[in-house]
Homo-oligomer: A and B are copies of this chain.
Amino acid sequence: MAHCLDDDKDCMTNVSAPVSDTLAAELGAIVGSEHVLADDNGRALHSRTTEPDSRRCNAVVFPGSAQEVAAILRLASRRKFTVWPFSTGNNWGYGTKNAIEPGAVILVLSRMNRILEVNEELGYAVIEPGVTQQQLYEHLLAKHPGLIADCTDSTPLGSVLGNAIERGYGYTPYGDHFGHLCGLEVVTPTGEMLRTGGAGEGCPTWNTHKWGYGPAIEGLFSQGNFGVVVKGGIWLHPRPERMLLFTIDANGPDELGATMDALRVLALEGTVRSHVHTANAFQTLSLVQKYPADLLARGTRIPTERLDALKAQFGIPDWTAVGGLYGSAAQVRAAKRELVHALRGKGRVAFFDKAKVEQSKRLVELWQRSAGRGMGAMVAQTIKSMVTRKDFALVALLPEMYGVLLGRPTWSVLESAYFKSRAQPAAPPLDPARDGCGLMWLATAVPMTGTQARTVLALAEPLFTTFDFNMSACLTMMNERTLFFLLGIFFDAENESERERAAGLYRALHATFTEHGYQQYRGGIPEWTAAGTHATPGGRLLGQIKQALDPCAVLAPGRYRI
């Protein structure tokens, strides 16, 4: 077993001054000097976050290959600096692409963006970490239209592998991204290459058999710091013969609870295979308009009456669930019948097939062309009112969500990150960290029952009020038995006291959930540095493994508290 030799004087861990010229030259010798950013400007730009605070990195390096990643890690052991890898670095709300401590070398793997293989017969792709959701979507549409890749509703420029390693979720039956990874190539902290699955080169099941041979180690490289994933297999779903988008409107905690119970049963039975997302009214509002300017200036939350008026104006219910039914025409018909039956008296279900989505798209176009005035607007309004009480701004989201349910990324949901920004969202590509948006996510894992959904709501909502924020909440199905309760804290990043309140609210929420025994589904810098989590015996094991694999602690020390 390797040991860290402490005889090097050029140690720069935790130093926020820029890297020495020598080190910059050494990094440049590995990746090419044009792929190292070590000047003040570059460091500042790449250290920006959407969270209330940030840590200045020492350099940003863009390696072009696994060999370069390995060489950087070996250099890190010799020169004693910490390396924090990011696939594309769009981890907004969870620490963006900061290290926990200032002074780290940030790796951004965006140059490693090859789609190495698509296997149509077996339904998988092998890709590098820089491959984005949009890139994979376009590649499949052009070359392999019979397959779809799940995507998140975050940026189209997000990394497919990065999100999967961090265990992100989408909407389709393959929405559990880590669950549909199969076969990883990893650079270890000491700069060696390995493959998960216990298979040698050329093993034909490397990307089809997730568990492999011997202990299944793929999970070690998710949500942690045991290696840098430089290649991975990701399963692709056949494009379904039919997909029917459904929404469920629920009002009040009882309808929400009943909806969660019904959806759990439908998922357990296999009727609903989609990862249903259920957003509260405030989150939905953030998708369709900006935060009221007067309240933003005053740094206060939207009062209940005014929020109610906005809900009424846009036709937003307390909760909106979005999911899809997949299969042949007959299978989707049968599933639809089950869904309608199960939700009777619990929530109002609406279905949108391809034709209906196309119609609504045309209607929104007509409305937009008319600028809300004259004959065009009247016609559009009249037709829409026959279908829904919801505003055009909501109807306009339908085609986007329909696309996401078939793996087409969208910018529409990310716009909500600009909700409390004083600037309007620029044209895509959006980048909330670049644009100074204030946003944090707290994502708690919750058993999927109505009782539990009501319990966590009751824990969170008063804290939002105490800290003078509105609660943005979404309940997302991770699997048939578990939700994550995603709380968004939108804040005005230019208002210092609001930034502090946001950080305080985060800590209060985290402490409350921890105290009640809940675990976070996913962490980030605010989470890893929050107090109050006890060391678990499992944590001790992770420490032993870390010590064995990364004796110099160069790779993202402290990530997930390891």
Q: Which A positions have Cβ atoms within 8 angstroms of B?
A: 1, 121-124, 167, 173, 178-179, 188, 192-200, 202-205, 208-224, 226, 235, 237-238, 240, 264-265, 268-271, 273, 326-328, 330-331, 333-335, 337-338, 445-449, 452, 478-482, 517-523, 534, 536-542, 544-545, 547-549, 560-562
Given contacts A122-B449, A205-B447, contact A541 B211 (CB under 8 A): no
Residues of chain B within 8 A (CB-CB) of A203 are: 517-519
Q: Which residue of chain B is the closest to A480 with respect to CB atoms?
A: B123
Q: How far is the CA of A481 from the CA of B549 in the complex (A)?
A: 32
Do B334 and A195 have beta carbons less than 8 Å apart?
A: no
Which residue of chain B has its CB nearest to the CB of A214? B560
Contact A194 to B537, CB < 8 A, known contacts A216-B219, A219-B211, A219-B216: yes
Residues of B within 8 A of A273 (CB): 270
Contacts of A518 in B (CB 8 A): 203-205
Whether B220 lies near A537 (C-beta < 8 A) is: no
**Once bound together, how far apart are the Cα atoms of A216 and B226, in whole Å?**
12
Decide yes or no: A547 and B199 within 8 Å by CB, A192-B540, A205-B445, A334-B330 being known contacts.
Answer: no
Inter-chain contacts of A562 with B (CB < 8 A)? 214-215
Contacts of A202 in B (CB 8 A): 517
- Tell me the complex Cα distance, A200–B516, Å: 11
Query: Residues of B contacting A124 with CB < 8 Å?
Result: 481
Alpha-carbon distance A188/B542, docked complex (angstroms): 13
Give the shortest distance, in Å, between A551 (CB) and chain B (any CB): 10
CB distance from A251 to the nearest CB of B (A): 24
Docked CA distance A208–B448 (Å): 9
Whole-angstrom distance between the Cβ of A373 and the nearest chain B Cβ? 47
List 8 additional contacts besides A194-B536, A330-B333; criterion CB under 8 Å.
A121-B449, A195-B537, A198-B536, A211-B223, A216-B220, A219-B220, A270-B273, A545-B549
Most chain B CB within 10 A, of A192, A203, A536, A547, is at A536
Question: For A452, what are the chain B residues with a Cβ–Cβ distance below 8 Å?
Answer: 204
Taking a contact as CB atoms under 8 Å apart, the answer to whether A327 and B271 are in contact is yes
Contact of A197 with B335 in the complex, beta carbons under 8 Å: no
Question: Looking at the complex, which one of B328, B479, B544 makes contact with A210 (CB distance below 8 Å)?
Answer: B479
Choose among B173, B196, B446 the residue that contacts A270 (Cβ–Cβ < 8 A).
B173
Q: A259 CB to closest chain B CB, in angstroms?
A: 15
| Of B213, B223, B446, B540, the contact of A523 (CB 8 Å cutoff) | B213
Once the chains bind, are A219 and B217 in contact (CB under 8 Å)?
A: yes
Nearest B residue to A561 via CB reads B214
Query: Which of A446, A540, A541, A549 neighbours the largest number of chain B CB atoms within 10 Å of its CB?
Result: A541
Partner of A548, one of B271, B331, B445, B545: B545
A547 CB contacts on chain B under 8 angstroms = 1, 548
Least CB separation from A534: chain B residue: B200
A149 CB to nearest B CB, Å: 14
On chain B, the residues within 8 Å of A542 by CB distance are 214-215, 217
Contact of B334 with A238 in the complex, beta carbons under 8 Å: no
Kindly name the residue among A1, A214, A523 whose own CB sees the greatest number of chain B CB atoms within 10 A: A214
Q: Would you list the 6 A-B pairs with minimal beta carbon distance, nearest first?
A: A216-B219, A215-B224, A208-B481, A194-B537, A330-B334, A548-B548
Name the one of B204, B481, B523 contacting A122, with C-beta atoms under 8 angstroms: B481
Instruction: Looking at the assembled complex, report how far the CB atom of A548 sits from the nearest CB atom of chain B, in whole angstroms.
Output: 4
Q: Do B449 and A538 touch across chains, with their CB atoms under 8 A apart?
A: no
Residues of B near A534 (CB, < 8 A) are 200
CB pair B205–A519 under 8 Å, yes or no, is yes
A217 to B270, Cβ gap below 8 A?
no
Q: A480–B235 Cα gap in the complex (Å)? A: 10
> Distance (Å) between the CB of A393 and the closest chain B CB?
34
Cα A376 to Cα B534 in complex, Å, equals 72
